Amino acid sequence: MGTSRRAFISNVAKGVAVASVPSVFTTVFASGNPEAAPVFDTTQITDTQTSGTTAEKYRPPYKIGMGGVALGNGFAETGDTEALNAMQGAWDSGIRYFDTSPWYGLGMSERRMGNFLHGKDKSDYVISTKVGRLMYPDAKFKHEMWKGRLNFNYKYDYTAGGARKSVEDSLLRLGIPALDIVFIHDLSPDNEDLGDKWMEYFKIAQNGAMKELTKMREEGLIKAWGLGVNTIEPALKTLEVADPDIFLSATQYSLVKHKDDLNTLFPACEKRGVSIVVGAPLAAGLLAGKDRYLYGGEKPKEIMDKYAKMLKVAAAHKVDLRTAALQFTAAPTVVASTIPGARTAKQATQNAESMKTKIPAAFWDELKHEKLIEANAAVPKA
């Protein structure tokens, strides 16, 4: 990154007026509004596994948020109106934390999310997005993960300049004045694009994006940064080499899979005052009744057998398993928020309502007795 660009962004953070500054960068990033009523009562949670607080580092003040994969045409094509209605449904249900990424639909999720949020007061919501991939125009490019017409391609860039540019690009796509949290995205061994070279990219990020996001936090441009990954190894390594605030741990903490996060990542984070956002709390659809598990099309026998047994326990206690799954992921003290996706207004409303539902203690007791969830896992109070 050139000196002039770094000085420009730094000046914005200090409130220095620059005549040629685009309006999208003239507002120092505002805080989320903790006075807005969250849709989940955190007093309903008991934690048998974690202790301590993360008060020194920023964490979103809402126990449930909305993930933006579906708005980027993940799994199926979503219409613009449908996406707007999903955002409206989430907002009307009290959801005020929204997570997106340039990767989701190659910019589409950010554009759609921003289409709804750009007219809102920034102090009324919290938003996170990601860095690591830069978009560039390419009308012919197709990607199997994202449906519909995309019009953009991508390249990886975990450098300091790439991180700063990615944040600027995201603000332009979103059309909002500020970001709260920035996650370094998919810097992980499960990313097939990186493969066994992921540690080379990690080193670039360690000397680039991580340091730059720390500077942006110090400048007041963002409140927090961390990694958004599907494995725990990169998060643990980041704790060793940098000063993150929060991790988006996706696919690693759900009713059907949570042991590694629970016993390894969570304690390590608590020691550093780092909090967790749970991504894919419904296992990318399985725990909402969809015929899929995560994003690669795999259906491990162990997971599917456990899911079938959970359905029987839920039926016996007259519990909606999707509701139980969401509340379970929000229960640990170290978890700041859980962020299920929503394609429709109905799904968004159902997710919010699930956090207000009482679940009998006997349900959780039976899951533990049958060894379907870990004995030391935090569960909601009845």
- For the stretch 217-261, pLDDT in tens is 999 999 999 999 999 999 999 999 999 999 999 999 999 999 999
Query: Could you tell me if 132 and 157 are in contact, meaning their C-beta atoms sit under 8 angstroms apart?
Result: yes
In a domain, 20, yes or no: yes
Place of tokens 């934690």: 47
Dihedral angle, C-alpha 213, 218, 219, 224, nearest 10 °: 50
Residue 382 domain-assigned (yes or no):
no
Asked if residue 379 is part of any domain, the answer here is no
Give the percent of the chain with pLDDT over 70: 86
Residue range 107-131: mean pLDDT, rounded: 97
Domain that holds residue 348: 3-307+329-357
CATH (domain of 243): 3.20.20.100
Cα separations in angstroms, 286 against 248, 304, 321:
20, 9, 10
Task: With respect to residue 219, please indicate whether it lies within any of the assigned structural domains.
Answer: yes
Q: Is residue 238 part of a domain?
A: yes
pLDDT score of 56: 86
Query: In angstroms, how far is CA 213 from the centroid of its own chain?
Result: 17
Q: Is residue 322 part of a domain?
A: no
Q: Look at residue 319 and tell me if it is in a domain.
A: no
Question: What pLDDT is recorded for position 23?
Answer: 30
In a domain, 21, yes or no: yes
Per-residue pLDDT averaged across 122-135, rounded? 98
Q: What is the pTM of this model?
A: 0.85
Q: Count the domains in the chain.
A: 1
